[in-house]
């Protein structure tokens, strides 16, 4: 495995719509393994392929280290309900945090690294992380959804809660 360089805003690739994966091959497995390692190393809870310079619909999410990576390939939202507002950051925007409102619960259909379809239901913070990464695959950045930016000081207060 290898740590990949993370693409920072305003690199163009971050605003592009990613292509679907059609070959579920060794190259994809390697990309997923490297993305996971890169996310853990960067202390992130999710990472999308365009953030490592690959314009493909691939994302990994793991909101608690060691809980098991969720690999999402060609994901689609099937259902979304409710609303939550919380603080988000992004590995491509160091030191920028803001409040974003998103559906509270989502049901997503995606493919795994072998191409098998599966569905996942998530709520609360996991739903937020999945939606943030899925937005990346459409070239949508969290900053376009921030209702209020927050300072590092405020962030510390959030974390103390
Ligand atoms: Ni992000």
pLDDT tens digit sequence for 125-138: 999 999 999 999 99
What pLDDT digit, counting tens, does each position of 71-121 carry?
A: 999 999 999 999 999 999 999 999 999 999 999 999 999 999 999 999 999
Cα–Cα distance, 40 to 61 (Å, whole number): 10
Which H or E run contains 29?
A: helix 26-41
If DSSP codes are grouped into helix, strand and coil, which group holds residue 17?
Answer: coil
Range 143-154 average pLDDT: 93
Check residue 161 and give its pLDDT.
57
Residues with CB under 5 A from ligand 1 (ion): 90
What pLDDT digit, counting tens, does each position of 26-70 carry?
A: 999 999 999 999 999 999 999 999 999 999 999 999 999 888 999
pTM for the structure as a whole: 0.96
Alpha carbon of 59 to ligand 1 centroid (Å) = 10
Range 127-154 average pLDDT: 96
Cα–Cα nearest to 17, from 60, 74, 70: 74
Check residue 135 and give its pLDDT.
98
Check residue 54 and give its pLDDT.
98
The catalytically annotated residue of 62, 71, 88, 133 is 133
**Cross-strand partners of 117:** 111
Check residue 150 and give its pLDDT.
94
Cα–Cα nearest to 48, from 94, 16, 84, 10: 16
Alpha carbon of 107 to ligand 1 centroid (Å) = 20
pLDDT bracket for residue 159 (50, 70, 90) = confident
Confidence check: pLDDT of 160 > 90: no
Q: Is 133 marked active-site?
A: yes
């Amino acid at each position: 495995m290898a740590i990949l360089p993370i693409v920072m805003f305003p690199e163009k690739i971050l605003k592009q719509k990613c292509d679907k994966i059609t070959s579920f091959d060794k190259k994809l497995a390697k990309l997923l393994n490297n993305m996971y390692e890169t996310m853990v190393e960067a202390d992130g809870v999710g990472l999308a392929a365009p953030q490592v310079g690959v314009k493909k619909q691939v994302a990994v999410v793991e909101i608690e280290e060691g809980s098991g990576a969720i690999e999402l390939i060609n994901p689609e939202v099937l259902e979304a309900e409710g609303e939550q507002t919380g603080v988000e950051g992004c590995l491509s925007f160091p030191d920028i945090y803001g409040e974003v409102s998103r559906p509270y619960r989502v049901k997503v259909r995606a493919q795994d690294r072998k191409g098998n379809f599966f569905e996942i239901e998530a709520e609360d913070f996991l739903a937020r992380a999945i939606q943030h990464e899925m937005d990346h695959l459409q070239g949508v950045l969290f900053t376009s959804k921030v209702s209020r930016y927050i300072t590092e000081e405020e962030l510390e207060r959030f974390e103390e809660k």
